[in-house]
Structure 1
Amino acid sequence: MIKLFIRYLNLMVITIFTLIVFSFLLPFMFPGDLLTNISGIVPQSEEQRLALEQAYLLDESIFHQFGFYIESLVQGNWGVSLSDNAQLSTEVAVAVPATLELVFYALLVSVVVGIPIGFLSGLKNHNPFDFSVVSFSIVGYSFPVFWLALIFITIFCLQLEWLPISGRIDLLYDVPMHTGFVFIDIMRSSIDNKTGAFIDAFHHLILPTASVAIVTTALFIRFTRRSIMDVMQKDYIIAAKSRGFTQSQIFFKHGLKNALLPILPILALQVSTLITNVMIIETIFSWPGVGRWLIQAIYQQDYPAIRIGMLVVSLFVMSLTITIEFITRAIDPARERAESAAV
């Protein structure tokens, strides 16, 4: 276990260092003035340019510049946005919780809905219920998330007028954003109508979550169904049936755990897809997360923001993927041994 932890820790450190090196080199590849790309400040005079060059060590070697960049990242001095002169660290601190919130709820819905339905479909395979579930999973996984989002907006926002079309909460509720997580901030706030604020925030959350969760849920259903079908055909399951165990006893004692183990690696592989879908949905629903902020920076050619945004998103995806992979191998040592034997 300790060797496994050290191995993944080394992998994470090497990956983080590689991402930081790539992020450091981005301003040199962007068009325009290098100093502006790094600092986010357009020099108004030659004196200001010289001062900024000295501040960012542009008159030193590239190794000194790289060391200064790492030091600035650690201290939170990420520069300013070229479009509005706001501190990038502040903008990222506001946007990241909104993205995490949407990722968490979409993943929660996918796990709570997709895995049980996948188990039921696998246990009752090749019957009308199974055929219906398989059809839904194929159709749900085939739809692009932006198309689903636009369909939901057309039906539930424009035609039925049941749900809001954009944002996280109505502007009528003046909720101070301390943590960035809207439900926690509502509970901590001193506004009068907290119940109404909760309901309004929940209504704003429904369509973005559903747009992302349908695709992920369909994927979970397909893999869970396939996993439980494979497990129920194993020799130890057949032996348990021959001893007179009921279907429920076999499933909960032998089938459930062994069917869940192959699903965790799939979850690690789908992290990047999930976050990509969330970033697309943020733009469509004006959800104030990292995806919407980064896409706006690309439209505005805000190169300092693009640099930091790409680094933050890459670090988040990498950290979550490696963490899930480590947990999977720690829970299932047999997978590690099987892969080593195959090599």
Structure 2
Amino acid sequence: MLLSFLRHIILLFITLLIISIISYIVLIKDPLNASLMTPHFYSGYFVYVDNLLNGDFGISYNGGEPLKDLIWVVLPATLELCFTAILFAILFGIPLGLLSAVNNSHFIGKLIRTLSDIGLSMPVFWVAPILLYVSAIQTWEISAIGQYNLLYEIKPITGFPIIDVWFIDQPYRIKIIQNVLQHLVLPTLVLTILPTMEIIRLVQQRAEFLFKQNYVKVTMTKGWSIWKVLRIHILRNTLPLLIPQLPRLFTLVLAQCMLVESTFAWPGIGRWLIDAVKFQDYNSISAGIMVIGLCIITVNLFAEILTFILDPLNKKGWYAR
């Protein structure tokens, strides 16, 4: 157990080192940061790392604002989309995966598997504008761009409008809440597709494997209903399987945000980074690489801690399937 802990710490340190080096290489691409390479290429790296440890990301050349303040504005918007999409993916993916496993040889199971394969190969940069176009010509209220209507003022408390909107003390608060949710629907639906299909596939494979085990077959011969078998044996041995998959799902959704945010004018870190590339703002690109890397590492660390709490000795083989 101690060796496993040390191995994870070493891997974490190596990952942070690699991300910081990549971020530093991007930073020195800017001619204005050429002084960091004197007298040697690595001379400014230690200064750069020291600034990062102190929370100093520098300033944006596109406006001169501190990058730390900009990141705290754009990052919560992206995380709001990611967490909402993963939450809905779990809510939809687990029941559909179990339904597909129970009806493995029936039409319903085959249909869910087919839709899952189609959803995994569906490009979000194609789905997003089509959904926005269809909702607009049908005059649906969810055909909206941005986080909320700029006519409303939401005081930033946590940085997440979906949370901050509940602390508004205005007579039209219900209208603002409705507006925030309407703006959140379309990008969430688009981002939910891939993780939902992935969860369906994982749950279905695991459930089908468990249905073939002898202890499950014995309970079914005793006359247990299929729902009792699912609740007692299948769910308890399937849900923990999703925990090690959370970092990968989060990374996939975060990568898709880069495309979806531009389509829906969502003020997140993906759209901000695309604008930084457009204006060749290397300071912002470098800071964005570090922030995104830290987010993925944090989610991965959370998943590993949760997995360790549920299975300290790693005897259940959740990583195997």
- Residue in 1 that maps onto 2:263: 284
Q: Does 1:24 align with 2:24?
A: yes
Cα offset, 1:281, TM superposition = 0.9
C-alpha distance in 1 between matches for 2:19 and 2:27 = 14
Contact 2:244 2:319 (C-alpha < 8 Å) held by counterparts: no
- State percent identity of aligned pairs: 28
- Residue in 1 that maps onto 2:123: 144
C-alpha distance in 1 between matches for 2:142 and 2:13 = 44
C-alpha distance in 1 between matches for 2:319 and 2:116 = 30
Q: Secondary structure at the match of 1:177?
A: coil
Contact 1:329 1:335 (C-alpha < 8 Å) held by counterparts: no
Q: Secondary structure at the match of 2:315?
A: helix
C-alpha distance in 2 between matches for 1:131 and 1:182 = 40
Residue ranges of structure 1 left out of the alignment (5+ in a row)? 39-52
Contact 2:116 2:198 (C-alpha < 8 Å) held by counterparts: yes
TM-score, scaled relative to structure 2:
0.90
Cα offset, 1:80, TM superposition = 1.0
- Residue in 1 that maps onto 2:8: 8
Amino acid at match of 2:116: S
Compare CA radii of gyration and give the structure with the larger one: 1
Cα offset, 1:337, TM superposition = 10
Structure-to-structure mapping, 1:2-81, within 5 angstroms: 3-28=3-28, 30=29, 32-33=30-31, 36-37=32-33, 65-81=44-60
Structure-to-structure mapping, 1:173-192, within 5 angstroms: 173-192=152-171
RMSD between aligned residues: 2.4
Residue ranges of structure 2 left out of the alignment (5+ in a row)? none
Contact 1:329 1:336 (C-alpha < 8 Å) held by counterparts: no
Taking structure 1 as reference, are residues 142 and 25 closer, same or farther at Cα in structure 2, changes over 3 Å only?
Answer: closer
C-alpha distance in 2 between matches for 1:162 and 1:126 = 40
Q: Does 1:99 align with 2:78?
A: yes
C-alpha distance in 1 between matches for 2:201 and 2:14 = 34
User: Quick check: 283-292 or 4-13, which moved more?
Assistant: 4-13
Give the paired residue count. 318
Contact 2:276 2:285 (C-alpha < 8 Å) held by counterparts: yes
C-alpha distance in 2 between matches for 1:336 and 1:249 = 24
Cα offset, 1:163, TM superposition = 2.0
C-alpha distance in 1 between matches for 2:39 and 2:300 = 37
Q: Does 1:328 align with 2:307?
A: yes
C-alpha distance in 1 between matches for 2:37 and 2:121 = 49
Amino acid at match of 2:24: F
Q: Secondary structure at the match of 1:270?
A: helix
Amino acid at match of 2:184: L
Taking structure 1 as reference, are residues 60 and 335 closer, same or farther at Cα in structure 2, changes over 3 Å only?
Answer: farther
1:142-185 Cα shifts (integer Å, max 9, x gaps): 21111111111111123434323310010111112232100222
Taking structure 1 as reference, are residues 211 and 62 closer, same or farther at Cα in structure 2, changes over 3 Å only?
Answer: same
- 1:122 corresponds to which of 101, 104, 120: 101
C-alpha distance in 1 between matches for 2:37 and 2:73 = 30
Cα offset, 1:23, TM superposition = 1.6
Contact 1:80 1:304 (C-alpha < 8 Å) held by counterparts: yes
1:285-322 Cα shifts (integer Å, max 9, x gaps): 11111101011101111111111111111221233134
Taking structure 1 as reference, are residues 207 and 213 closer, same or farther at Cα in structure 2, changes over 3 Å only?
Answer: same
Amino acid at match of 1:203: Q
- 1:245 corresponds to which of 201, 221, 224: 224
Cα offset, 1:186, TM superposition = 1.7
Structure-to-structure mapping, 1:228-243, within 5 angstroms: 228-243=207-222
Contact 1:12 1:319 (C-alpha < 8 Å) held by counterparts: no
C-alpha distance in 2 between matches for 1:150 and 1:337 = 38
C-alpha distance in 2 between matches for 1:230 and 1:263 = 15
